[in-house]
Structure 1
Amino acid sequence: MTLLPESPAQRIGEEARDAAVRRLQEAYADGHVMHEELDAGLDRVLAARTHGEVASALAGLPAQDPGTATTIGAAAGSIRRRGRWRVPRRLTVESALGKVRLNLSRADFEQDQVDIELRVGTGNATLIVPRDAVVDVGAVRAGWKDTHYRPRTPTRPGGPTIRISGVMGFGRLKIRHARR
């Protein structure tokens, strides 16, 4: 998500304001701002009405790390990740022929928002997401079968946001939330 739209005079929404607050808190946790600067920055962000006012409150912060990107691929055979594993900010999964099974329920997320791009030729893909994750599958194109996903309302805040995009050739994408 970008905090600066084309027009700095545009009114700020709650999502952008929350992202700015998180950015200030992360800068404080990393030692880039002092306690007094954090308080002043939070006051300015919470009182801001436009994107320009938020941008000026964040102007002194170091550039934001966009996160890492990783590709997992296999020409034929299964791709499987489970247990504790690190999920990068951007993950691309490429499989020409075979099953894909990613269990994200116990994974460590680098950031609160993750983009997963699927490039699956022939075979099914199954993703098990954390119980309180928010999942967006709007950018997935299915060539043969529809995506199987029943959205769930998170029971508590703080779960990751997982945006899934890409192409499923001859196979189905199934997504389910972990039970615990």
Structure 2
Amino acid sequence: MTDDAPQLRASDADRDRVADILRDALAEGRLDMAEFEERLEAAYRARTYAELAPLTGDLPASGAAVPAVSLHKDPAGSGSWAERVVGGDGSSAWAVAVMSGFQRKGRWTAPKRFRSFVFWGGGEIDLREAYFADREVEIECVAIMGGVQVIVEPGVEVVVRGIGVMGGFDHREEGVPGEPGAPRVIVTGFAFWGGVGVERKLTKAERLRQKEERARLKDERRRERLERRSERHQLHAARREERWEDRERRRDGNGPAS
């Protein structure tokens, strides 16, 4: 790398890569919206690497060398359903909470049948990031004066077959078709003076992706506004130049007679 590398002209691809880094920083909370907008506008106005480098210099993986603004992003895993139906026995087959609580969440393997029991307590069974031992898994919940919450992500088919006595099972997520290859979750059991809820939520990664997409769309709209503003400035400048040239011609007697 030569010493004059910072003065090299930046390309549109370089500016777009810096914008990607800034969007990631916004989504991760490293930049607030005001800082993001200020840096993004500076990125699209930048002409050289020297102008781009400070915009990402305090962000992770931005690199020390100036041309490192042309960063690549590590590819994310495909997260396909085929990868998440892994077979086997599951990493946890049961959970009990007596006057207490339990959680099953994160990267765990849900068995073909998972049993849970709560008495004067609560439990959370979060399948959003889970792997599955089978394409059809049963979550059995017994809630006595307590509650269990089952959380799935969009794309998973849910069937609820539980019985409630002075309590109940949540059926709101039933009837939503599953995606091809996605597992089927059957919620069964018994609730007495308690309840079993079923909730559909996005994963953290999907929420981050949607936040990035909103930032990208806002970025595109802002860039379009900047481009339109630049075009208007250029048009006004051209018109001023034409008027100036016309006045010069008139002054020299070369213009049309008044």
Q: What's the TM-score once normalised by structure 2's chain length?
A: 0.41
CA 1:90/1:155 → structure 2, altered by over 3 Å: closer, same or farther?
closer
Q: Find the counterpart in structure 2 of residue 125 from structure 1.
A: 148
Larger Rg computed on CA atoms: 2
Q: Which has the higher strand share?
A: 1
State the partner residue of 2:139. 116
Q: Any stretches of 5+ residues in structure 1 without a counterpart? A: 1-64
Partner of 2:98: 75
Paired AA for residue 192 in structure 2:
G
The answer for the alignment partner of 1:28 in structure 2 is none
Instruction: Report how far residue 172 of structure 1 moved.
Output: 1.7
Distance 2:103 2:135 in 1: 22
Matched, 1:166 2:189: yes
- The answer to whether the aligner puts 1:148 opposite 2:170 as a matched pair is yes
In the alignment, does 2:170 pair up with 1:137? no
Deviation at 1:66, TM superposition (A): 8.9
Rounded to whole Å, the distance in 1 between the matches of 2:105 and 2:112 is 17
SS of residue matched to 2:179: coil
Displacement after TM superposition at 1:106 (Å): 0.6
Please give the per-residue CA displacement for 1:3-51, whole angstroms capped at 9, x wherever unaligned: xxxxxxxxxxxxxxxxxxxxxxxxxxxxxxxxxxxxxxxxxxxxxxxxx
Q: Structure 2 CA distance, aligned partners of 1:86 and 1:170?
A: 30
SS at match of 2:134: coil
| Structure with more of its chain in helix, by fraction | 2
- Once the two structures are TM-superposed, the CA of residue 147 in structure 1 deviates from its matched residue by 2.1
Match of 1:87 in 2: 110
Contact 1:67–1:111 (Cα < 8 Å) also in 2: no
Tell me if structure 2 keeps the 8 A contact 1:105–1:129.
yes
Q: Aligned residues, how many?
A: 115
- How far apart are residue 130 of structure 1 and its match? 2.5
Matches of 2:120 and 2:128 in 1, distance apart? Answer: 25
Q: Which amino acid aligns with 1:146?
A: G
Distance in 2, Cα, partners of 1:81 & 1:166: 18
The change in CA–CA distance for 1:147 and 1:86 in structure 2 (over 3 A counts) is same
Q: CA offset at residue 105 of structure 1?
A: 0.7
Q: Which runs of 5+ in 2 are unaligned?
A: 1-86, 207-258
CA–CA separation in structure 1 for the residues paired with 2:128 and 2:157: 13
2:88–2:133 Cα contact (<8 Å) kept: no
| Residue 99 of structure 1, CA deviation | 0.8
TM-score computed with the length of structure 1 as normaliser:
0.57
Q: 4+ residue runs of structure 1 moved beyond 4 angstroms?
A: 65-69
Identify the residue that residue 45 of structure 1 maps to in structure 2: none
CA contact (8 A) 1:131 1:154 kept: no
> Which structure carries more relative contact order (alpha carbon 8 Å, separation 6+)?
1
CA contact (8 A) 1:149 1:176 kept: no
Distance of 2:152 and 2:139 partners within structure 1: 12
Do 1:88 and 1:114's aligned partners in 2 also have CA atoms closer than 8 Å?
yes
User: 1: CA distance between counterparts of 2:179 and 2:117?
Assistant: 32
Identity of aligned residues (%): 23
1:134 aligned partner, one-letter code: E
Q: CA RMSD in A?
A: 2.2
